[in-house]
Amino acid sequence: MTPQPADALHSDLRTSDAEARRAALYLTLAQIPEGKVTSYGELAAVAGLGRAARWVGRVLSQLPDDTRLPWHRVMGAGGRLSLAAGTLSGDEQRARLRAEGVRVINDRVDIRRHGWHSAEHSG
């Protein structure tokens, strides 16, 4: 194996760190059960990513259309739906949530009623 220049090594480390962060996010997202929701910030915290709510939103917005991950169960703070009604993704999110029995009123979800609380994070 030939030695790598320092810049290439740092690039590899950044890439593997980004992949590890995405993996942690996806694994945590997959745990959110049907009929439950969480916020971008809460998802970041439970995944061990600290205060990375905006990063979580950006990553979720880049998921492929055919993903099986429950992206629609993640919303803004206080249960606010951040995807606009009348857009393809916003309407799909609302339809999926309603199909799971989640009530959406005035672009909000009652977090007390539908909020997901990870067992690891609640302790």
In this predicted structure, what is the pLDDT of residue 43? 98
Which CATH number fits the domain that encloses residue 16?
1.10.10.10
Residue 69 pLDDT exceeds 50: yes
Count of structural domains, the chain: 1
| DSSP string for residues in the chain | -PPPPHHHHHHHHHHHHHHHHHHHHHHHHHTPPTT-BEEHHHHHHHTT--S-HHHHHHHHHTS-TT--S-GGGEE-GGGB--SPTTSHHHHHHHHHHHHTT--EETTEE-HHHHB---TTT--
Name the average pLDDT for the chain.
89
In this predicted structure, what is the pLDDT of residue 111? 94
Whether residue 120 lies inside any domain: the answer is no
Residue 10 pLDDT exceeds 80: no
Whether residue 121 lies inside any domain: the answer is no
What is the pLDDT confidence band of residue 7, given thresholds at 50, 70 and 90?
low
Query: Which whole number is the average pLDDT over 72-92?
Result: 96
Query: Which whole number is the average pLDDT over 38-44?
Result: 97
Whether residue 46 lies inside any domain: the answer is yes
Residue 50 pLDDT exceeds 70: yes
Whether residue 91 lies inside any domain: the answer is yes
Lowest mean pLDDT segment, chosen from 1-10, 66-75, 80-89, 97-106: 1-10
Whether residue 60 lies inside any domain: the answer is yes
Whether residue 1 lies inside any domain: the answer is no
Its domain, for residue 57, covers 6-65+73-114
In this predicted structure, what is the pLDDT of residue 122? 46
